[in-house]
Amino acid sequence: MTLAEFLKEKRQQKGWGLRVVASILEIDQSTLSKYENGHRLPTNEHISRFAKIYEMDEKELKKLYLIEQISTMVLNSGLENDFLKVAEEQVEYRRTKQEEIKKSTKSKTK
C-alpha cells in the first residue's frame, strides 16, 4: 500500500470528505487530492498533522513517508534493487561510526 492509498483509506474510515480534512490541515482541497492520488508527497509538517487527526503514531506515518520517498527514487533511478543491500550496509556502518564518536566524546568529558 502506498502512502497515498493509506492516507485516503484513513480519511474514508473516518467518514470525512476531502473538504473536511483539507480544512483541518489548512491546505487546499486540490493539494489533499494530490496527496491521496500519489501525484505529490505531503510535507513533513503535514505528515505530523495527518498523524494527529488520524490518531496514529507519528513515527509510523513518518516511516511510510520515508518508504514512499525511497521507493520513488528507486523506481525512477532505473537501477536494480540490489543496491538497496549496499545502502543498508552503509546505514549500519554510519550508525556504528556515530556510536563510536558518542562513546569517544563521553570518555573525553569524564
Q: Are 10 and 55 in contact (CB under 8 A)?
A: no
Give the start-to-end residue ranges of the domains of the chain.
Answer: 3-78, 80-110
List pLDDT tens digits, range 11-69.
999 999 999 999 999 999 999 999 999 999 999 999 999 999 999 999 999 999 999 98
Question: Would you list the DSSP string of 25-94?
Answer: HTS-HHHHHHHHTTSSPPPHHHHHHHHHHTT--HHHHHHHHHHHHHHHHHHHHT--TTHHHHHHHHHHHH
List pLDDT tens digits, range 66-104.
999 888 888 888 777 777 888 889 999 999 999 999 888
CATH 3.40.50.300 fits 3-78, yes or no: no
- Whole-structure pTM value: 0.73
